[in-house]
Structure 1
Amino acid sequence: MAVESFTSMTVSDVTPRRTSKRSHALFEALEKEIVLGTLKPEQALTEMDLAQRFECSQGTVREALMRLNEEGLVNRLPNRGTTVAPCHADDARALLHVRREVECSYLDRVVARADAMLERDLHDRLNAMRNAARDGDEYRLSVFDRAFHRRLFEAADLPLVAPILTRCLIHNHRFKILNAQPNRELEATAERHVPILDALAERDVETLRELLSHHIATIVDFGPDLSNTGESA
């Protein structure tokens, strides 16, 4: 399938800003390094070292680390400092099941509220995934992949539940990237979303639920199987 190149969507278009620009930029940089494994699980981090490395104040570092702590990507403990969060299969499996419960249980609400804007937004995110895959940028692909699923769930209008999905998504993707086989088919990862869009366009709740459930269970097709069902895509 040809890669769409017209989308102008960038990472910042789908990443919410809740802090200052500098701390947000640092948060994004550190999130990328944690997800890709540049910063290793359980590696110690210090505000002073990060401030020197990124040429910013320790206050900016502290703000970014606090947000990473909220996302579960670092652990900040009194008198013990900050470390990169571990990345264990048991945690990933549990979050995978939570994610499937959250995303698949409320699709009747999603379909009831689906409109042309939702479909357009999802297609934009799919095209951004295709472009990232074409560029061989697995991290950017994961950003838009997560944005696709957040936007789909947004239609359920359950804002108190959405942060739970956000945490599941980041940790599922981190585990997948850290444990995946090299030279993965990134374009296949993007195209896995097409059947979901087709079922949404048909407003077929049951097919959408089946497809999405399988999609989530096989998120690690190219790495360890966390589904406990033996499914494969």
Structure 2
Amino acid sequence: MFWPLSWVVVPLTAIFAKIEIIDGHKLPQEGAYVLAPSHSTEFDPLIVAVAVWRMGRAPRFMAKESLFKVPVLGWALRATGMVPVARSSSASAARQTIEASEILVEHGRGVIVYPEGTLTRDPDLWPMRGKTGAVRLALADGIPLIPMAHWGAQDILPRYGRLSFWPLRRPVQVIVGDPVDLGEYAGKGTQPAALVAGTDRLMNAIAQLLSQLRGVPAPAKRWNPSEHGQKETGRLEP
């Protein structure tokens, strides 16, 4: 399924973005992984998908469970191995996470999870406070957690803005970091304190990667929407 999709998605994305991948070799070439990218525009999934494809892996995302019930689309999501996620109780979410991680390990697949759960609300487009889904998924089966950042897509489609058709092929840089060290949290995947600490470590890693691309220091404190009267809505996470 990915090959025919790539014949459409890759050339289409190349019209708008000239993607440069930095340290792409850090994405595991085999076996399971959880990839956690920065997220500042709705154009991001195309950038991330094409970058992952060019790095030799199939780009699979977390997708809302309700989408799997849509005719044709649901079949396509299942055929490409996308991972369903639903709003549920904490017990159901934990069970769903374990099942998803076991499938990733069994089939040697990777999955892309936006750790913020939605577009960053930070006014300067730095990563904001993260949710624990990506870390929980990685800890469930000891799966490598890989941070990623990119910069430039916001010039193609500004956050909550309109698609810019000109100039074409705007430069977008993508950088992949070393796996986040979650060793001290092993076996603690159900403990809130461990999940929060691991998520803070992940978000710091993403922010440092983005700092490299932007050439300016990342803020010491992550933006917290609840402290600014903002709602965190958008993509779902386990």
Both proteins in one fold, TM over 0.5? no
What TM-score do you get using the length of structure 1 for normalisation?
0.31
Q: Say which structure is richer in helix.
A: 1
Which of the pair is proportionally richer in strand? 2
